[in-house]
């Protein structure tokens, strides 16, 4: 896998002008654009067709969490729209994840397109041990991440979203082919902003991240293209 394919840029903006600028500047230098709730609720499916029309790939980060039928029907619609990667919440349960994956494979086969990578959120990295205990789980957040990672794999999904500091735990428990998508990455010497448990692009890949998600260090940079290339170079120099 080429280093640039590992870079997913979070498009955390909500105007068409900002999106158009970022997509056109970055599409040749990165692997995928992450579209989250902010942008999706602002632009709807237009954002998917726009990025695709420019030749970009899309990770739709909606963290679906509902009953199996509702999630799998939503996954069917999004597969048809040609999303390249999307996610559900593993806490929606084994059957929800299993059915979502089965539906996306079936839909893609019917259309003769490549099935999207379907991944799951384990424990949000914003939740520490104290919060995990408050919710009522009797395991630490790390143990929960491992437990839910294994459940996700057993349900047939392709990987998880996790902290770069947890990617090694997931690879050990689920194997090398199981993908890890990790936000909380900051290039060397960069402002960390509100991210707490962070690491650098190089350390993330060395620690077991398959893809890294980077937002503001690229989207708020003076020159977004240069910022993206610098991160790819950091990953190349392993
Ligand atoms: O700007 P920054 O690089 O911090 O953006 C990281 C992106 O990854 C944001 O879209 C954020 O919502 C997302 N994310 C995160 N931590 C998680 C899950 C998602 O930062 N645990």
Q: How confident is the model at residue 93 (pLDDT cuts 50, 70, 90)?
A: very high
Ranges 94-108, 131-145, 191-205, 224-238, most confident: 94-108
Closest-CA residue, ligand 1 atom 21, reads 125
Predicted pLDDT at 80 = 97
Measure the CA–CA gap between 26 and 21, rounded to whole angstroms: 9
Q: Which atom of ligand 1 is nearest to the CA of 193?
A: 4
DSSP string spanning 42-54? Answer: HHTTHHHHHHHHT
Predicted pLDDT at 91 = 96
Predicted pLDDT at 203 = 95
Predicted pLDDT at 237 = 77
Q: How confident is the model at residue 182 (pLDDT cuts 50, 70, 90)?
A: very high
Q: Which atom of ligand 1 is nearest to the CA of 10?
A: 10
pTM: 0.95
Measure the CA–CA gap between 102 and 237, rounded to whole angstroms: 38
Q: How confident is the model at residue 198 (pLDDT cuts 50, 70, 90)?
A: confident
Whether the predicted pLDDT of 84 surpasses 90:
yes
Give the lowest-confidence range in 3-17, 48-62, 141-155, 189-203.
189-203
Share of the chain above pLDDT 70, in %: 98
Indicate the length of the chain as a whole number.
238
- Output the CA 2–ligand 1 centroid distance in Å: 22
Residues 6 or more apart from 94 whose CB is under 8 A from it?
A: 151, 154, 155
Angstrom distances, CA of residue 222 to CA of 24, 185, 228: 16, 19, 11
Average pLDDT, the chain: 95
Q: What is the number of alpha carbons within 13 Å of residue 163 lying toward its C-beta?
A: 19
Question: Is the Cβ atom of 195 under 6 angstroms away from ligand 1?
Answer: yes
Question: Is the Cβ atom of 187 under 6 angstroms away from ligand 1?
Answer: no
Residue 172, SS3? helix
The mean pLDDT of 199-227, rounded to a whole number, is: 96
Known catalytic residues? 63
Question: Is the Cβ atom of 215 under 6 angstroms away from ligand 1?
Answer: yes
Distance of alpha carbon 14 from the chain centroid: 19
Q: Which atom of ligand 1 is nearest to the CA of 186?
A: 3
Closest-CA residue, ligand 1 atom 3, reads 215
Q: How confident is the model at residue 56 (pLDDT cuts 50, 70, 90)?
A: very high
Predicted pLDDT at 87 = 98
Query: Domains in the chain, start-ordered, CATH in brackets?
Result: 3-236 (3.20.20.70)
Asked if 220 contacts 213 with a C-beta cutoff of 8 angstroms, the reply is no
């Amino acid at each position: 896998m080429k280093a640039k394919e590992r870079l997913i840029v979070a498009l955390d903006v909500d105007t068409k002008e900002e999106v158009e600028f970022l997509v056109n500047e970055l599409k040749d230098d990165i692997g995928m654009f992450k579209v989250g709730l902010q942008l999706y609720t602002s632009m709807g499916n237009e954002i998917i067709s726009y990025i695709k029309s420019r030749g970009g790939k899309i990770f739709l980060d909606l963290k679906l969490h509902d009953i199996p039928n509702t999630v799998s029907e939503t996954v069917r619609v999004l597969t048809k729209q040609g999303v390249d990667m999307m996610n559900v919440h593993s806490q929606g349960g084994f059957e929800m994840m299993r059915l979502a994956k089965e539906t996306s494979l079936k839909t893609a086969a019917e259309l003769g397109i490549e099935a999207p990578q379907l991944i799951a959120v384990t424990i949000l990295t914003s939740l520490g041990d104290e919060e995990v205990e408050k919710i009522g789980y009797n395991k630490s957040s790390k143990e929960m991440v491992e437990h839910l990672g294994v459940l996700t794999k057993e349900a047939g999904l392709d990987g998880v979203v996790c902290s770069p500091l947890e990617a090694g735990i997931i690879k050990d428990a689920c194997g090398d082919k199981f993908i890890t998508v990790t936000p909380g990455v900051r290039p060397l010497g960069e402002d960390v902003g509100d991210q707490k448990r962070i690491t650098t692009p190089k350390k993330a890949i060395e620690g077991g991240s398959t893809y890294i998600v980077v937002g503001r260090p690229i989207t708020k940079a003076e020159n977004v293209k240069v910022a993206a290339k610098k991160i790819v170079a950091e990953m190349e120099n392993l």
